[in-house]
Structure 1
């Protein structure tokens, strides 16, 4: 579904992506791991067209993203942002239905609200939450609302940016389980970026590790612990010593 070939991106003298090759099969959940500043977020932004690569190609469903009509292309995606990114002045249901009331996906207001309430139910929130403001919800509930928004338009591809950041271990487990269930139910293709190894093991079909702007290793989740790569081994076990340089 998603294919990146020899992707490069620099910001001034900072070379972020240095020849990334990555293939994400349709209907699979790919988790991208790696330290801060290794290019994980830039990779996602490149696929979405928010960042223009300096070189290389990005294909979605076999077509170069530059050759696809912009609105129709983005309509295929859902996104769960790291901080939730909810609109604090809008009630919850309008946050969830935001895309459904605009552009090519526009639905009548009553229908959009009905869909929003159904998606809230799917993530474990009752209809009583629909008319509240995000500030009236806990962090875990806000994350569920963000997940409901990400799936509101039944996207083919969903990106999850650090989905458990700021959550306690129990709520992190709830979100991980929801993501796994929903991606499977929808048959969606997913890319998640995370530092949380519990999330990796709960969400991933396949894992790719970015290091110094390249894919250091990529393989099935079942191969992760015994992949034999010293960089991957150090990262997944959180060891301070190893080939990955750390500040001391």
Structure 2
């Protein structure tokens, strides 16, 4: 029998309390200031997409939430609790992640990749059960059982991304992070992955945080959008308000204009 680290725990969210909240988070690397007071909230069941140019701190923000790096100042609250509390371990048991490059293990078969977390928990899920779970999650992202015993090198880029998505949902997580989910995919496959993400997040009732440059991804998966610029949240709002927003930085970015306030400061 798998322990609570192998499958999603009961939802720990409290009505009205943000699932994730950042308060004036700052981070430097040497003399380079990356985050200069980032603040936002993600409520349970919401999908937040973080956008911004290269080097604006999107990945650093995600790593701070996950605890991979520590912020220099400010506060990160997870289910209303400081991220340095004992509740962080409970929080981390509830998340899944789709990595930008897929991050599949070349030496493991597809099903072993999907079931990796299940098989390497403190109390590993039995091999047969883990394989069955992996095949079920592969089916959920549109891949048949014949895929299970293939290796990543035998898959197309789109299939690898689907396998990564199956792994991200293998434990039925309450929180899912997506790092540039359509990077390297052609427009048609990118659309397929975006639709899958939106469908899965809605179906699971999961809280989602996505970082991306792809405006098609933004428009497909976002409930709310946060634009980072110069280490701060330049604009935050609902996806339906994005196109009518008057912020010049946001307007330039979402329309891909070469001229504007972002280009002017480079």
* Same structural fold, with TM-score higher than 0.5 when normalized by the shorter chain: yes
Q: Alpha carbons of 1:25 and 1:229: their partners in 2 closer, same or farther (altered >3 Å)?
A: same
Are 2:78 and 2:91, in contact at CA under 8 Å, matched by a contact in 1? no
The 3 A distance-change label for structure 1 pair 112 and 71 is: farther
Q: How does 1:189-228 map to 2 (within 5 A)?
A: 189-228=207-246
Structure 1 residues 122 and 65: alpha-carbon distance in aligned structure 2, compared to 1, 3 A threshold: same
In the alignment, the residues of structure 2 paired with residue 61 and residue 69 of structure 1 have an alpha-carbon distance, to the nearest angstrom, of: 9
1:83 aligns with 2:101: yes
CA deviations 1:60-117 (Å, max 9, x no partner) are 1111111035543321110000000000000000000000012246311111110000
Unaligned runs of 5+ in 2: 1-18
Give the whole-Å Cα distance in 2 for the aligned partners of 1:137 and 1:189: 29
Separation (CA, whole Å) in 1 of partners of 2:257 and 2:123: 47
CA pair 216-53 structure 1, distance change in 2 beyond 3 A? same
| Secondary structure, aligned partner of 1:103 | coil
Within a 5 Å distance, the mapping from 1:87-236 to structure 2 comes to: 87-104=105-122, 106-236=124-254
Q: 1:129 to 1:57 in 2, by over 3 A?
A: same
Q: TM-score, normalised by structure 1?
A: 0.97
Structure 1 residues 246, 176: closer, same or farther in 2, change over 3 A? Answer: farther
Indicate if the aligned counterparts of 1:88 and 1:133 stay in contact, CA closer than 8 A: yes
Show structure 1 runs of 5+ residues with no match: none
TM-score scaled by length of structure 2:
0.91
Q: What does residue 49 of structure 1 align with?
A: 67
In the alignment of these two chains, the number of paired residues is 248
CA contact (8 A) 1:240 1:246 kept: no
Greater mean alpha carbon deviation, residues 58-67 or residues 159-168: 58-67
Q: Report SS of the residue matched to 1:228.
A: coil
